[in-house]
Amino acid sequence: MQKKSYTLIEIAEFLSAPLHGEKKCLIEGLATIQNAGPKKISFIDNPRYRKYLAATKAAAVIISPALLEECTTNAIVTENPYLAYAKLAQLFSYKQNTKRGIHPSAIIGKHCDIAASASIAPHAVIGDYVTVGENAVIGAGCVVGEHVSIGKNTFIYSNVSIYHHVKIGERVIIHSQAVIGSDGFGIAKDQEGWNKIPQLGGVIIEDDVEIGAGTTIDRGAIEDTWIKQGVKLDNQIQIGHNVIIGKHTVIAGCTGIAGSTTIGEYCMIGGGTGIGGHLNIVDHVSLTGMAMVTRSLDKPGVYSSGTGLQTNEAWRKSAVRFRQLDTFAERLNKLEKRLNQGDNS
């Protein structure tokens, strides 16, 4: 059974951070700084919450050294309170109970290699020639196609669909309703209409990747779509065929990435971003939310597009001015030519 409470000294040792206060103080969970009760621990990372520190009722807070003098309760001190909070949350997070073995209602194909420690939940359907590693979990109602490999300690939530010839690494998390390996959008036009292009590649998901609910990753047209180690994908993302996403890149929800685009390592992509096809984005690029990427990016940095929110009246005026830019530019060019020619009339 999961432990539900920890002493402050146990938490401090887990975080490898110094404790200022009562070692035996018992902590039963996490809470926000303004709403925490006497058996909760909180943290401050954003300066806007500093005003709540003096009056907090939390049993302890995780803070930076600069805030220690203002703290009126027990404190765990670290240079990165948000990272410490992220690690501590692992101790209190809900862990779903799973049973080893294959549920009687699951359907298992031929020539499968399923580890004895793996868990196959009710009504899962596993195709032929599937490999499932040690301690992997396949949730209720999942469908796994033929020739799929799933690495050890991977957790697949209920109702995930994994098409044929997909390779999934170790410690991967895939949330409900995700679809891995569906056909890419490949069509060719003739005089009568559109012809479907069979998608012959697969999908490779490397170790420690997390894939959000409702996210879809298309299989490659010829070569594989490739999601590299440590990538974190939010909910409802669309990844086109033959896309390559570099190690430890994070992508927020509702982003769409068209086919054959390569995204580098350690990139950060904001929600609602649209990325065109056949582009290359280098390492360490950050795209703010709702960015529209229509060209390759060959230099690291932060990129944005579009306009921020305005009142409708202000937006309408801006839209009119935007349509007038070509006229303004033409008039400006004519004026510059006249000035360069010495025409002062």
Query: Residue 103 and residue 35: Cα distance in Å, rounded?
Result: 43
Position 291 scores a pLDDT of: 95
Short-list 154, 157, 161, 153, CA closest to 176? 157
Position 81 scores a pLDDT of: 97
Q: Do 6-92 and 101-303 come out as alike in CATH topology?
A: no
Q: Is 241 a catalytic residue?
A: yes
Position 341 scores a pLDDT of: 83
68-90 pLDDT tens trace: 999 999 999 999 999 999 999 99
Position 1 scores a pLDDT of: 46
Q: CATH number of the domain at 101-303, out of 3.40.50.2300, 2.160.10.10, 2.20.25.90, 3.90.45.10?
A: 2.160.10.10
> Which two tokens mark 250?
């994070």
Query: What is the separation of C-alpha 243 from the centre of its chain, rounded to a whole number of angstroms?
Result: 16
Secondary structure in 3-state letters for 270-320: CCCCEECCCCEECCCEEECCCCEECCCECCCEEECCCCCCCCHHHHHHHHH
Domain covering 6-92 in this structure, CATH number: 3.40.1390.10
292-312 pLDDT tens trace: 999 999 999 999 998 788 899
- Max Cα-Cα span within the chain: 92
List 111, 147, 164, 241, catalytic entry: 241
> Which two tokens mark 95?
């862990």
Phi, psi dihedrals of residue 321, rounded to the nearest 5°? -65, -40
Is residue 322 classed as helix, strand or coil in its secondary structure? helix
The percentage of the chain sitting over the pLDDT mark of 90, rounded to a whole number, equals: 89
Position 2 scores a pLDDT of: 58
User: Do residues 199 and 181 make contact, with C-beta atoms less than 8 angstroms apart?
Assistant: no
Position 110 scores a pLDDT of: 98
Domain residue spans in the chain?
A: 6-92, 101-303, 312-345
Residues of the chain scoring pLDDT < 50? 1
Query: Residue 20 and residue 13: Cα distance in Å, rounded?
Result: 13
User: Do residues 271 and 285 make contact, with C-beta atoms less than 8 angstroms apart?
Assistant: no
165-175 pLDDT tens trace: 999 999 999 99
Q: What angle do CA 126, 253, 197 make, to 5 degrees?
A: 55
With b for 16 or more beta-carbon neighbours within 10 A and e for fewer, the 307-334 pattern comes to eeeeeeeeeeeeeeeeeeeeeeeeeeee
